[in-house]
Amino acid sequence: MSRPQSLKANNSTQRALLAALATVALCGSAVAQRAPANVRLTIDLNHPGPVIAPAVEGQFAENLGRGIYDGIWVGHHSSIPNRNGYRTDVMDALKALHVPVIRWPGGCFADTYDWRDGVGPDAGRPRGINTNWGGVTDDNSFGTNEFMDYSVALGADAYVSLNLGSLPAYDARQWVQYMTAGGDSALAQERRTNGRDKPWTNLKYVGYGNELWGCGGNMTADYAASLFKRYATFVNPAPGAPDFVKIASGPNEADYAWTDTMMRGAARQMGAISLHYYTIPGPSWEHKGSATGFSKDEWATTLSKARYIDTLIAKHSAIMDKYDPGKKVALDVDEWGTWYDQAPGSHPGFLYQQNTLRDAEVAALTLDVFFRHTDRVKLATIAQMVNVLQAMVLTDGDRMLLTPTYHVFHMYVPFQGATPYPATVSGPDYVEGKHRLPMVDASVARGTDGRLYLALVNLDPDRGAHVETGLNGTASGQILSGPKMDSHNTFAAPDTIHPVAYAGQAEHGSLAFELPAKSIAVVAVDEP
């Protein structure tokens, strides 16, 4: 995090940088230079939408692979620098993201987890078997206190997923009491004995099971709706504790019937229903595609599939409208991101993968979609925070690197809590084989600091865009790009791809941008 973050480079520096980016891009892909496409961004400042819930930039941290153990938690006696057992480098990197919420302990793991295994003195904690993810054992040294304290240390809300699949409602109720009860109940006293006096007040979201249609118990939607209502009756915050959002286990991808049945049966008890959607470039789960070394067709397929989340949200939301026209129930996308074939040589079942400029584009496009659905999408947690799937950071022993996805999340921080404006992009499409996509995607919002922020994403791996905005003023910020579609950071070269300073230019009295091929820019506009 020591990189200079100056947003105020002068114009000649900007031009040199952009020329360099363009040249490197062209050399890397050996494509003949094409004139930049003319693109127009039209912003409707008169019709602000509902605020972008900060929680849409949330994180998912499952007890899976090296996500928790190694990634977040190394324990008090590790030679890896740590604060109270939490590795310092990862913690500092995550702090810079202003992580709004963390979901834990799963995922599929949640419906096998007994919270009692992860509280109390270390010596008394049983070794557990992670039957979903690699069959490995762990010592349960990262449990409820460790998770809740970590989220507090990061300034994040906690999202805890209950075990509906294999434990009775009584256990889930006890767990929530343990976290939220004041007074002198036995569970509050037990928590005190375990080192935490006051109840945690940041338990803002509770998930009632995970993927109940699959790893959470292979239930029918009717059964899941009934089960959700039963657990929601008994599992509530302790008296006097802040309320939390009850999140029902929602559909996989385009399972609209699941949403319909859950909403019809249980909408009145829900604060939200979840949606899971993974971007998998390959044709099947057996052939998901490689995280690096992919073709242009795979680039386009991935971006096209990432954008499909817009259709999913629109259609699930329309079903929800039937039962909840007042939009009291949120659609929370608590698992999303890219999922590739496991990295060669990595542990089967650990879901470790590299992360490239393509992932950065997926992250930016997906956040942009969430910003267009702020009426329903109030939380989204990318899978996953550290060392698993589309991660923010990767670790190897005592080494850590920031991924391109991390950089997008960092650049997008000003959108947390911002007020979005409708924005229309007109210009040529990016066409690759059977894929036709808008070449440039954009988000526009007024941040909580009063400044106007623009995010611009160029999907075309070969062609730059000249973007006119019709706005007055100056604009500066950062841009992320790289010489290759799969530019990425390695432990040997951890800073290969990172954002650099970027600015717009005044043109005939209005603001314009030179947006290089395959790039993501976020700028703040200084209006006159």
* Of 62, 298, 335, 432, catalytic: 335
Going from the C-alpha of 159 to that of each of 51, 53, 169, 460, the distances in angstroms are 21, 15, 18, 36
Tell me whether residue 226 or residue 252 sits nearer to ligand AHR (CB atom).
Answer: 252
Cα–Cα distance measured from residue 258 to residue 370, given in angstroms and rounded to the nearest whole number:
21
Q: Amino acid identity, residue 449?
A: D
Count CB-CB contacts under 10 A for residue 223: 15
For ligand AHR, the closer CB: 61 or 411 = 61
- Burial code of 432-462, b = ≥16 C-beta within 10 A, e = fewer? beebebbbbbbbbbbbeeebbbbbbbbbbbb
For the CB of residue 303, give the shortest distance to ligand AHR in the complex, in Å: 21
Residue nearest to ligand AHR (CB): 107
CB half-sphere exposure, 479, CA atoms < 13 A: 27
Separation between Cα atoms, residue 136 and residue 64, nearest integer Å: 9
Q: How far apart are the first and last CA of the chain?
A: 32
What are the φ/ψ torsions at residue 293 (nearest 5 degrees)? 65, 35
Q: How far is the CB of 173 from ligand AHR (least distance, A)?
A: 23
Answer yes or no: 527 catalytic: no
Strands 519-526 and 272-279 turn out to be: unpaired
Catalytic residue from among 57, 62, 146, 211: 211
Q: Which DSSP string do the residues of 108-173 spell out, in sequence order?
A: GGGGG--GGGGSS-GGGPPPEE-TTTTT-EE---S-HHHHHHHHHHHTPEEEEEE--SSS-HHHHH
Distances (CA, A) of 117 to 45, 72, 145, 168: 53, 19, 12, 16
Residues 6 or more apart whose Cβ sits within 8 Å of residue 236 = 176
What is the C-alpha to C-alpha distance for residues 260 and 251, in angstroms, rounded to an integer?
Answer: 10
- Gyration radius of the chain over CA positions: 23
Nearer to ligand AHR, 108 or 452 (CB): 108
Q: Give strand ranges (E) for 419-486.
A: 419-421, 423-426, 429-432, 435-438, 440-446, 452-458, 465-468, 474-480
**Minimal distance, residue 382 CB to ligand AHR, in Å:** 10
How far is it, in rounded angstroms, from Cα 79 to Cα 76? 9
Distance from C-alpha of 259 to C-alpha of 330, rounded to nearest angstrom: 12
Kindly give, in sequence order, each residue whose CB lies less than 8 Å from that of residue 99, ignoring residues fewer than 6 positions away: 57, 58, 59, 154, 155, 156, 385
Q: Crossing angle, helix 144-154 and helix 88-95, to 10 degrees?
A: 50
211 is catalytic: yes
Which residues sit at the interface with ligand AHR, rule CB under 6 A?
62, 106-108, 210-211, 335, 383-384, 389
3-class DSSP assignment, residue 438: strand
Concatenated DSSP letters for 472-523?
-SEEEEEEE--SSTT-B--SSSTTSS--EEEE-EEETTEEEEEE-SSEEEEE
Q: Catalytic residues, which ones?
A: 211, 335
